[in-house]
């Protein structure tokens, strides 16, 4: 129950950050995007992209909130079964990365994003993935 609450809160905070970007906020936006060594962005998301990611993260937050059983609402079994594995797999794969710009095994590490990714983003994704797997197995 505690692990589900923790993941729910993490996903809620991450969704709020993305909704902030969708509404024009800029806090942390520049450092959250991978760049080439010359500073050129790999991704150029639009506000709608941030909103879509925010909605996905919010749905993950709600999934783990309902999974915590703090409220007496249960999701259909097929959603619980698939989401319990899909969400942690997404974040574990993100932590491993693309072997070039993101993840623990990236080759481009000297950029501003690369440093922040190594220190914060990848460990957070791995923690989310492993915690989700623990919840799924329990």
Residue range 16-72, pLDDT digits in tens: 999 999 999 999 999 999 999 999 999 999 999 999 999 999 999 999 999 999 998
Query: Residue 74: is its pLDDT beyond 90?
Result: no
**Block residue for tokens 């059983």:** 69
pLDDT bracket for residue 73 (50, 70, 90): confident
Quote the pLDDT of residue 79: 94
Q: What is the mean pLDDT of the chain?
A: 97
Query: Residue 98: is its pLDDT beyond 90?
Result: yes
Cα of 50 vs its chain's centroid, Å: 12
Q: Kindly state the greatest CA–CA separation across the chain.
A: 52
Alpha carbon distance 120, 94 (integer Å): 13
Instruction: State the average pLDDT over residues 95-100.
Output: 97
- Let me know how many helices (H) and strands (E) the chain has, helices first: 5, 0
**What pTM does this model have?**
0.95
Quote the pLDDT of residue 115: 97
Alpha carbon distance 42, 35 (integer Å): 5
Q: How large a percentage of the chain has pLDDT more than 70?
A: 100
Alpha carbon distance 93, 96 (integer Å): 5
Angle at 124 between CA 119 and CA 129, to 5 degrees: 140
């Amino acid at each position: 129950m505690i692990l589900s609450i923790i993941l729910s809160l993490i996903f809620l905070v991450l969704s709020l950050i993305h909704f902030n970007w969708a509404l024009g906020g800029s806090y942390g936006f520049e450092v959250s995007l991978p760049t080439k060594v010359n500073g050129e962005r790999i991704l150029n998301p639009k506000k709608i992209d941030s909103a879509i990611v925010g909605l996905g993260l919010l749905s993950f937050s709600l999934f783990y909130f309902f999974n915590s059983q703090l409220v007496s609402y249960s999701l259909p079994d097929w959603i619980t079964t698939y989401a319990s594995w899909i969400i942690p797999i997404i974040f574990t794969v993100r932590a491993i990365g693309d072997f070039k710009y993101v993840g623990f095994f990236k080759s481009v590490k000297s950029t501003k994003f690369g440093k922040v990714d190594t220190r914060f983003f990848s460990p957070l994704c791995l923690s989310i993935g492993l915690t989700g797997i623990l919840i799924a197995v329990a």
